[in-house]
Structure 1
Amino acid sequence: MSTCENIQIECKDRYILSGQFYSSQKNTNHKYPILICPATGITKGFYHSFAQWLSEQGYNVLSFDFRGIGDSLHGRIQDSKASIVQWGQLDIPAAIETLLAKTKSSKVIILGHSAGGQLLGITPNYEKVAKVVAVAGSTGHIKGLKGRTKILAPIMFKGIFPLARFTLGYGPTNMIGMGENLPRDVAKQWAQFCSKPGYILNAIGNSVNITDNFHEKITTPITAIWASDDEIATEENVKDLLRLYPNSQTNLIRLNPQTYNHKAIGHMLMFKRSHQNLWSIIENELNINE
């Protein structure tokens, strides 16, 4: 049974993130370590079982909490200045450099869950990423949503978040079963980015300088893995994400729950022990040897 090492990740602006490093449990020829970038409001602990399993398959793995979330929230959430743009421009780059230093590797593979797989286009050290595997990664465009989420998202984005910004001082996602509560600017940007196609592309020229838009420069291969019953990462929204990288080789893998004897997979269940029979599908996309 593998154990993890608690580590600190220092960002360019000196902000400290909380991370967990899982060292490879056997000798393999896996060339690159794995960086698990979490979904919005989801802590590193959610990925513990999966990260531990990856280490048992011979991978070095680093998971972490984005600023303002979990153990990377310092002080009151009402006082947090964290934003999604900072996650892409500061947190992911620092995590990449920390993992490279820890493993002496030349590149990392990003395993991004939802938002964690949607931010490479504003990550300045993108050239140090050998591949992105985006699990339930999409633009989350509100018009491309399905089911109950298509009804609830506008209420959250246009009603709950704006009201809570001035009353609570944060986005109350925990009370509606959507992970940790969000710093106010994370909640605000989430709503803004999902209001139009393109997600983070909507920040370019506003909270992101035009010169910091790397989407068209990126040639890193990207694989998107999503479930047919995912109400957020629908096929329409997954394809909307991949179009942002015109010079990358992209691959789409759609999973049907019934094919793997599950009632549901949705947006969150792929990393659960109950769905461990899906892990080899993800791992197959991580196992590259250049």
Structure 2
Amino acid sequence: MNHAGDGNARSVTIAARDGASLAAMLFSSPRGEGPVVVIAGAIAVKQKFYERLARFLAARGAEVLTFDYRGVGASRKFGTPRGGLRAWGEQDLAGALDHALTLAPDAPLRVVAHSVGGQLVGLAENNHHIRAMLAISAQIGDWRLWPAPRKYALWLFWNALLPIPAAVLGYFPAARLGLGENLPKDAALEWARWCRNPDYFVDAAGRPFPGCFDDFTGSIRALTIEDDWMAPKPAVDALMHRYRRASIEPMAIRPEAKAIGHFGFFRDPGRPYWDDCARWLMES
């Protein structure tokens, strides 16, 4: 494992379950007495986006691990191993959890999951080690769960506007469209396939697979943000229903001054909620 850093934050290379190398950052607590927290990010979002929250949690006693999924962000320097979103959960996130468990084997493990990160936790076979998950706008992407007329635009996106460019170019040019990081072809096509199917988690032949949702028996605080069109409440609820053995605490956020949307929780508009959510995460 390679290390480089600046004081309490250092870059590390961690291994996915299938041996793929992933770029990660470890934010160490000066106190070194709290839980280990893994941040499972959204699709097409670099781990750098979560650094501010990671430092905030580390200052409160947590050891915090962020990472980039295969083919995304700093992990692109290792190439793009085969595998889409299913591999991101079964291999990449599971590998990050494995690494977190080596940092402090006796410390409780927590996860902050943003958007698709909340889905991937349910695919990691070692998710039973997680005591608590703060799920922020974590949802099922089935277009049918959105209100009209937006759901019809999403139908077009999942059936044509995403899969056709991904198939032709070999990647989805999200950066050119202002939608985040470019997506590797495997991830883009699998994402589109899931979002077209009412069973959502389906293999290449369209057959549902169960994942490891029933292995998760920890606590979940599920945040729904009122002005987040990317994660409406029915889609958030649909994902939470997969975690049948979890203790789930819904939390609705209704922005009063500044818009929060899908990404604002990790920026200044979401800062007023950090103290309470961090306290819940650390103490659950």
User: 8 Å contact 2:128–2:215 — kept in the other structure?
Assistant: no
TM-score (normalizing by structure 1): 0.87
User: What is the distance in 1 between the residues matched to 2:200 and 2:108?
Assistant: 26
Tell me the equivalent position of 1:279: 274
User: What is the distance in 1 between the residues matched to 2:163 and 2:156?
Assistant: 10
> Higher relative contact order by CA 8 Å / sep ≥ 6: 1 or 2?
1
CA displacement at 1:133 relative to structure 2:
1.4
Tell me the equivalent position of 2:119: 118
User: What is the distance in 2 between the residues matched to 1:122 and 1:219?
Assistant: 14
* Aligned residue among 263, 268, 279 for 1:268: 263
User: What is the distance in 1 between the residues matched to 2:65 and 2:112?
Assistant: 10
Matched, 1:24 2:36: no
CA displacement at 1:128 relative to structure 2:
1.2
CA displacement at 1:103 relative to structure 2:
2.7
CA shift in 2, pair 1:127/1:275, >3 Å = closer
Tell me the equivalent position of 2:19: 14
SS of equivalent to 1:132: strand
Tell me the equivalent position of 1:246: 244
Match for 1:276: what amino acid?
R
**Stretch deviating more after TM superposition (1-10 or 94-103):** 1-10
User: What is the distance in 1 between the residues matched to 2:180 and 2:233?
Assistant: 23
Matched, 1:49 2:49: no
User: What is the distance in 1 between the residues matched to 2:277 and 2:204?
Assistant: 31
CA displacement at 1:281 relative to structure 2:
3.2
Question: Quick one: percent identity of the two aligned structures?
Answer: 25
* Deviations 1:43-87, CA, capped at 9 Å, x for gaps: 1100111111111112110000011100112466xx652310001
Q: How does 1:59-138 map to 2 (within 5 A)?
A: 59-74=62-77, 81-138=82-139
Q: Which runs of 5+ in 2 are unaligned?
A: 1-5
**Stretch deviating more after TM superposition (36-45 or 225-234):** 225-234
Tell me the equivalent position of 1:218: 216
User: What is the distance in 1 between the residues matched to 2:216 and 2:86?
Assistant: 18
User: 8 Å contact 2:9–2:25 — kept in the other structure?
Assistant: yes
**Stretch deviating more after TM superposition (248-257 or 2-11):** 2-11
User: 8 Å contact 1:111–1:133 — kept in the other structure?
Assistant: yes
CA displacement at 1:97 relative to structure 2:
1.3
SS of equivalent to 2:214: coil
Tell me the equivalent position of 1:36: 39
TM-score (normalizing by structure 2): 0.89
Matched, 1:177 2:178: yes
Tell me the equivalent position of 1:164: 165
